[in-house]
Amino acid sequence: MTTIASNLQAVRTAIAKAAVRAGRSTDEVTLLAVSKTFSHVAIRTAHLAGQIRFAENYVQEAIEKIAALHDLTLEWHFIGPIQSNKTRIIAEKFSWVHSVDRLKIAERLSEQRPKNLPALQICLQVNISAEKSKSGISPEEVDELAIAISKLPQIRLRGLMAIPAPVENVILQRQPFTQLKEMLERLNNQGLNLDTLSMGMSHDFSAAISEGATMVRIGTAIFGNRHYGEQN
């Protein structure tokens, strides 16, 4: 077995364990393989091991891989910062975008989503740990933006995404995930119909699953450490 295949198997087992511990069914949790900085060869290896959903952060890097892998049926998720001059290519090439944090970006994605494709699936990124350097809207802005975005055509608001500040302690890891879950419930109480909590990475996905994550975004635990500036 390749390293990527055995890593994937270990991650799937850990996800199942975390789900069972939380009294949840394993198929409530979708695994996204975060392939940024890794080559299309690594993605092909993961696909051979049964992985279909991949997430990318950088538009140019992603579209090259999507082109190189067009013979496979893969589902592409965009999870990186979005510049407004990149919305058209994102709307054309991806099924999901997790990192929407401005109405203007959502409007452009809505206008530019090709009519022959299903609605683009969207999550709002929330800056849950209020870090200055991080993208995402503040928790106070979520309701207004979510309601505005939910009315746009050609896109479908599915839920919320967050990248909490990294901490080692599992109890502390859970707090921001609980907050995100409560935010989602609050939106649904206002008439929205959201089903997605995109939260949990290699170091904290067990805590995220215990607080209700429906999508975990895992890179390092599958592909190994990233080396920026070169492709592996």
Ligand X SMILES: *Cc1c(COP(=O)(O)O)cnc(C)c1O
Using an 8 Å Cβ cutoff, are 105 and 90 in contact? no
Nearer CB in complex with ligand X: 189/228: 228
β strands within 2-144, DSSP E: 30-34, 53-56, 75-78, 96-100, 120-126
User: Which residue number, 47 or 217, has a Cβ lying nearer to ligand X?
Assistant: 217
Residue pointed to by tokens 């979005």 = 82
What DSSP state is assigned to residue 117? S
Q: Using the minimum distance from each CB to ligand X, give the nearer residue, 128 or 218.
A: 218
Report the residue number, 84 or 220, with the smaller CB distance to ligand X.
220
| Residue 189 Cβ vs ligand X, minimum distance, rounded to whole Å | 27
Residue 220 C-beta: closest distance to ligand X, Å: 3
What is the nearest approach in angstroms of ligand X to the Cβ of residue 211?
16
Question: In whole angstroms, what is the distance from residue 127 CA to residue 134 CA?
Answer: 7
- Binding residues (CB under 6 A) for ligand X: these are 34, 36, 57, 79, 163, 201-203, 217-221
**Residue whose CB is nearest to ligand X in the complex, by number:** 219
Q: Work out how close the CB of 172 gets to ligand X at its nearest, in angstroms, rounded to a whole number.
A: 17
Nearer to ligand X, 79 or 124 (CB): 79
Range 135-144, long-range pairs (CB < 8 A, 24+ positions): 135/81, 135/99, 135/101, 136/99, 136/101, 136/161, 136/162, 136/163, 137/101, 137/102, 139/179, 139/183, 142/183, 142/187, 143/186, 143/187, 143/190
Considering the complex, what minimum distance in angstroms separates the CB of residue 213 from ligand X? 12
